[in-house]
Structure 1
């Protein structure tokens, strides 16, 4: 499908696509769909050639899947494979695209802003830079549940202030995922302190099994190096609007788009605001285009979202296609 045609198709719909980030990977992802649609493995072959190693093998075997430099290109490729299958089956082009963290790159590939080849190279580098920015074991992330955004931010500031002003002793809000759900990131010891204080305020705190403290100031060294790679990468404005993580807004030029991708490494993901933007624009149906259903489940909690679908298996994909095509008036 041409980029122009894709953009035209997306104008009048009430549907948005959500692309998941790191943490949604699972061994054997898309295996059943690959048996039915040749495009799944073709997409993985395209991405594998760009990197020089077999991403499909990693996805199916799980070997090295938990290594950030592998996780990111595998997830991006899986999301784009699902996107292509959706379009192949006549699925409606959504009005907006939004990706959570790494998923923003999937959204940009789907929107024809960059090629899959360039994107997998970028996120492979992104993963390496993120991993090398903080020594293993020194960074951490945790989900804080049941407290307001303001309460979590205040706890982070309290603990960081007590530790000192230098960046290595910081803990910050990293993902504003939903009302009452904020992920924090930073120095492992300080993350643990915030978790303890959150529990004392009747909140819940869950340590996340990650090796990199994403979306906090500890990632600034990685962002500086990553900005150089972004400048070398051909990027165009998306043909379907992409809501960016750092400001829950749509870039009006490529410079803004690049700046937002750089800042995304060390600034929080504004997912709550992004989802509110979708609702304000009349979006009523969302499709999570990637492995799992974390983003679809978050969307189901929103008052204006009528249906939220994962599409990572054949039955889920068929269900989403049927319901959305009827809802959008494309079939009776």
Structure 2
């Protein structure tokens, strides 16, 4: 599987692949595809050997699936299993790759910057470090809807300065939807203020507050593991979460992955950057439809595709070939 040669694939010019992060996992993911295609279980077996425990069992049974240190390797493996299936079925090579939070690692594996073995070890460690950085119950995340980015930033600053604890804008997902993260009381305070200003606030069922200042200790430890991991510049350009840009050196790439732990996910800017580069089709390579549903609201995206069932992946294979036309 690791011998996939991207240069042999037809090259798309208007299509990007995006890879989901935590929250897209579900019990029984990819089970139907695994019955039809050996790529699914083979990929899970390879990743399970790397981390030393059965990722497929966790994915299918749900036991421990929502524990961050398990969620991350399972989701990455599921995304790469779908990517490998896409390639084996004759899918095109997208012009760009991007991943939301954890999904950035899936994008880097697909682009052959990281091996699956190294990546699954990294994200397992990443999950462990994130979990240990903030004691259970002391951190939280919430989605704020209906306010501007600047309004939410101001609320986070006000609450943080009031000594309620640290809270930051963690994910800029799309216009009018920002996820905040930080100390539990601080997150609750921002939620209350957001509602007073006419917004909606939805607490998220997560075990750690990602992409906020509370993750800096985890980032410092994680940087050491990144330095010891073989990384190359990807063969398909990958846009990074922290700046919606493409790294031009290995040092910059490692720095972006380290900063991603405690800085905001610039997903709105990432999708805008893709559109600025002529992307009009997005394929979500992972379980669920979170990213494709968000992209459907954007006027510049003509079509989104999900790849987590046989019928969806077959539809995407045909539709993208037709849409790309002479480019492939």
TM-score band by shorter chain is: over 0.9
TM-score norm. by structure 2 comes to: 0.97
What residue is the counterpart of 2:85 in the other structure? 85
- 1:239-318 to structure 2, matched below 5 A, reads 239-318=235-314
Aligned-pair RMSD on alpha carbons? 1.6
Matched, 1:220 2:186: no
What residue is the counterpart of 1:15 in the other structure? 15
- Provide the aligned length of Structure 1 versus Structure 2: 328
Following TM superposition, by how much is the alpha carbon of 1:73 offset from its aligned partner in structure 2, in angstroms? 0.2
Instruction: Pick one of 165, 180, 184 that aligns with 1:188.
Output: 184
Alpha-carbon separation, structure 2, partners of 1:231 and 1:40 = 30
Contact 1:20 1:100 in 2 (8 A): yes
What residue is the counterpart of 2:28 in the other structure? 28
Cα deviation 1:229-285 (Å, max 9, x = unaligned): 000000000000000000000000000000000000000000000000000000010
What residue is the counterpart of 1:148 in the other structure? 148
* Residue segments in structure 1 that go unaligned for 5+ positions in a row: none
Q: Taking structure 1 as reference, are residues 17 and 183 closer, same or farther at Cα in structure 2, changes over 3 Å only?
A: same
Following TM superposition, by how much is the alpha carbon of 1:315 offset from its aligned partner in structure 2, in angstroms? 1.0
- 1:7-156 to structure 2, matched below 5 A, reads 7=7, 9=9, 12-156=12-156
Q: Taking structure 1 as reference, are residues 57 and 202 closer, same or farther at Cα in structure 2, changes over 3 Å only?
A: same
Q: Secondary structure at the match of 2:239?
A: strand
Contact 1:10 1:240 in 2 (8 A): no
TM-score norm. by structure 1 comes to: 0.96
Q: Taking structure 1 as reference, are residues 111 and 327 closer, same or farther at Cα in structure 2, changes over 3 Å only?
A: same
Q: Secondary structure at the match of 2:316?
A: helix
Q: Taking structure 1 as reference, are residues 153 and 23 closer, same or farther at Cα in structure 2, changes over 3 Å only?
A: same
